[in-house]
Amino acid sequence: MILTMNDFSWQSFLDKFSQLLIESDEGYCKYPGATEEEIAAAEARLGTQLPPSYKSFLRVSNGWSAMGSTMPGELWSTGETEWLRWCYPESIEIWGNEEISREEHLETQGSPGDRYNGKYMENCLAISGWGDACIVFMCPEIVTPKGEWELWKLASWIPGVDRWSSFQNWMIDSYQFLIDNRQ
């Protein structure tokens, strides 16, 4: 199911995603949406404009309580998001050493255990806590023409990181992963 930003409904998608997690005994995951004031306050605090699909998600659910197995911990609300360098500097120390060209970084997006430019981690925005030894954050160094930031999933069992072109693409893939791996 490939959807564009214009025809994607976060409300419908998150209801389906939450239902899947309820069936997996994870519980209801959605929170009330963030107000425009809460989003503006987060952007002012962080000193940046958040990417469009992430802001659209926040308007429907200001955070997310669980992602299922082998996923990050809770997705944070507008008041909890923070620069990776402030909340998880040890992650940058451990995984932020590799430096490759921007071209090579872009060429490897979407491959298992993507090669990545670890120096970009210094400017990434953490949007989750660690859960099952896994975290997700967004990289403002790699931005699509539509203003989407690259999303990174870092886990102790992944060599390197897994990367998606947007928050929305990662959420769709996470939902599909859970469907494909239901028991």
Confidence of residue 152 (pLDDT cuts 50, 70, 90): very high
| Residue 160: predicted pLDDT | 77
Mean pLDDT of 87-98: 91
134 in Cβ contact with 153 (< 8 Å): yes
Q: Which helix (H) or strand (E) holds 21?
A: helix 10-23
Number of domains in the chain: 1
Domain that holds residue 124: 5-180
CATH code of the domain containing 146: 3.40.1580.10
User: Mean pLDDT across the stretch 145-158?
Assistant: 91
Q: Is the pLDDT of residue 113 over 50?
A: yes
* Angstrom distance (rounded) from CA 183 to CA 175: 15
**Taking the CB of residue 37, how many other CB atoms lie within 10 A of it?**
9
Q: What band does 106 get if pLDDT is binned at 50, 70 and 90? A: confident
